């Protein structure tokens, strides 16, 4: 149980950017409304510059809160890294998360799936793969000190489950029209 909570904590800088994008997104789409070679939209209207920028900033904001909480509560998960390393690492997780989200949309458009239509597993794991992958690529040492093998395995198991649970709760609370 502790390891699951620890994994969720570690993943917050990957999880939260899309929520900020949903709240603060809109405006100019990243693909500028352009189509790909197949004549379909490159990414679609759901991927905007504002969503990307506020998503990254939101993820970094949450990460800073986490670092502060760890210092105050004397917990050592992210605070094993010094502050500068931590901010760089968390920013990489946040950027990777939104790049993965864009990649997912790119794939969905190629498969002729409309903006907003759910694709199980792709929607839940694209951001995770890119977030972890980018962090591993840019900061392999920090990555290995935070993401142990068990944390990574738990991450891939709990993320689709958490996604389903949070959406289901949002649906029951009347915040969402559909339970996915």
Contact pick of 4, 8, 26, 162 for ligand CTP (by CB under 6 A): 26
Please report, for residues 55, 94, 96, 149, the alpha-carbon distance to residue 144 in angstroms, rounded to integers and kept in the order given.
25, 17, 17, 9
Nearer to ligand CTP, 48 or 159 (CB): 48
26: Cα within 13 Å, side-chain hemisphere: 3
Nearer to ligand CTP, 14 or 18 (CB): 18
105 touches ligand CTP (CB under 6 A): yes
Nearer to ligand CTP, 54 or 78 (CB): 54
Contact pick of 116, 174, 175, 177 for ligand CTP (by CB under 6 A): 116
25 touches ligand CTP (CB under 6 A): yes
Binding segment for ligand CTP (CB under 6 A), chosen from 69-77, 85-93, 114-122, 148-156, is: 114-122
120 forms beta bridges with: none
Please report, for residues 75, 152, 168, the alpha-carbon distance to residue 164 in angstroms, rounded to integers and kept in the order given.
29, 19, 6
58 touches ligand CTP (CB under 6 A): no
Phi and psi based region of residue 126 (left: phi greater than 0; alpha: psi -120 to 50; beta: remaining)? alpha
Among 2, 6, 1, 8, CA closest to 161? 8
Contact pick of 98, 135, 146, 155 for ligand CTP (by CB under 6 A): 98
159 touches ligand CTP (CB under 6 A): no
Nearer to ligand CTP, 134 or 154 (CB): 134
Among 34, 31, 138, CA closest to 95? 138
Contact, 14 vs 128, CB < 8 A?
yes
177 touches ligand CTP (CB under 6 A): no
Q: Which residues bind ligand CTP (CB under 6 A)?
A: 18, 21-22, 25-26, 44, 46-48, 51-52, 55, 98, 101, 105, 108, 115-117
């Amino acid at each position: 149980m502790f390891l699951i909570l620890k994994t969720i904590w570690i993943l917050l800088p990957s999880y939260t950017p899309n929520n900020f994008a949903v709240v603060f997104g809109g405006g100019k789409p990243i693909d500028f409304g352009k189509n790909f070679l197949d004549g379909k939209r490159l990414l679609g209207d759901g991927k905007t510059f504002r969503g990307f920028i506020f998503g990254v900033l939101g993820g970094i904001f949450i990460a800073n809160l986490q670092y502060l909480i760890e210092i105050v509560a004397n917990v050592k998960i992210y605070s094993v890294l010094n502050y500068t390393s931590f901010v760089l690492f968390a920013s990489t997780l946040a950027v990777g998360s939104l790049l993965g989200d864009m990649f997912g949309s790119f794939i969905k458009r190629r498969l002729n799936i409309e903006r907003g239509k759910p694709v199980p597993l792709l929607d839940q794991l694209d951001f995770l793969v890119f977030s972890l992958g980018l962090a591993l690529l840019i900061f392999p040492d920090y990555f290995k000190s935070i993401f142990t093998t068990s944390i990574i395995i738990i991450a891939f198991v709990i993320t689709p489950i958490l996604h389903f649970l949070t959406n289901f709760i949002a649906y029951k609370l009347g915040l969402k029209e559909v339970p996915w």
